[in-house]
Structure 1
């Protein structure tokens, strides 16, 4: 079992962002976005390098294909944030409160998601490598068709996940509470689970195999 490599985010001295709205394909380097309402703003294809987003509102923000590199997202919140095809590398996402985040086709590498709650996270066809979910609550996340390599779930709630067509390698699910996949039980191949989790999954596995369990 190979452990995930965690990011080492060391931000330089940051400059407060005093610009207007985000720009598509914008280039943001060494900036701090704090307590801003970015609702509906369009930063598709933008590049955030050595940046911090703190307590920002991201409702319906359009950040498709944006790149977050060596950055911190702390206390962000929003519904319907668009991050399809985005790239996150060496990023920490801390205490987020998000719902309906669209991250299908995204690439996450050396990312830690710590604390907070994310509802209906769409990671269909995404690629996750060296990603750690730690102390967070994920409600009905959609991993269908995703590739997960060296991904760890530590002290997490993972409720009603879709693992249909997922490919896993060195994925540690032993720290998950309520491991009850809504779909795609076969997608757990390649993951590591605990004996207690195996017992919890036994009824679903028997049903999938067409087994009848009688006294």
Structure 2
């Protein structure tokens, strides 16, 4: 069950609806008995610890009330997977395929991921806290009630994605691509650094701070063909 939070006030007194964070209450978990992931597998109430799923195919699998801790996900195939009411802590991997997956009521803590494919995925009530994610592909994804907190996002691709009630808190956001994205109640004010490579025109529906506006001013001026001279 997710918790409601009060929103902040943006420019002109407009209230920004805050993201609802997940509240994960895991039951007593059984240790994963081992073996490889299976396509369309059903994993319920399991603890995966130090498991190596590199290169395995778990496409279409469902993880419910699970905890994955310090697992390797390099090139793991999890397309169309569902991760529900679960925690992922200190997972690592390059090229993990979560395209068209569903993450609902999930906490992703201190992850070290690179080139993760999440295009057309659905994220709802998801907290991504700590860690570093390079080249995250969220093209055409739907994010609702998602919080990025204290993490580093290097060149994330939100092209064509829909973001609603998404917050960036104390995180570094560099080289973000917002091309053709749709934003509603997206709060960027808490981002420790904010760098947008494409899609500045898609910031309607987001709120930024005065300092961030000044930082983005040179890019905005260049995009609009404005010459700035003293």
Q: Which range, TM-score by smaller chain? A: over 0.9
Give aligned pairs, total. Answer: 215
Distance 1:126 1:101 in 2: 13
Match of 1:162 among 177, 192, 199: 177
State which of 54, 57, 65 in structure 2 corresponds to 1:39: 54
Please give the alpha-carbon distance, in whole angstroms, between the structure 1 residues aligned to 2:111 and 2:202.
Answer: 27
Deviations 1:47-105 (A, max 9, x none): 00000000000000000010000000000000000000000000000000000000000
Superposition deviation, residue 178 in structure 1? 2.5
Matches within 5 A, 1:48-63: 48-63=63-78
Task: Deviation per CA, 1:149-191: give whole Å up to 9, x if none.
Answer: 0000000000111010110000000111231211111121110
Structure 2 gaps, min length 5: 1-15
- Give every structure 1 segment of 4 or more consecutive aligned residues whose post-TM-superposition deviation is greater than 6 Å: none
Residue in structure 1 matching 2:187, options 172, 177, 187: 172
Q: Find the counterpart in structure 1 of residue 222 from structure 2.
A: 207
Contact 2:169 2:192 in 1 (8 A): no
Residue in 1 aligned with 2:144? 129
TM-score (norm 1): 0.99
In 2, distance between residues paired with 1:120 and 1:64? 18
Return 5+ residue gaps in structure 1 as ranges: none
* Aligned Cα root-mean-square deviation (Å): 0.6
The yes-or-no answer on 1:65 pairing with 2:80 is yes
Aligned-partner Cα distance in 2 for 1:193–1:117? 22
Distance in 2 (alpha carbons) for counterparts of 1:40 and 1:180:
33
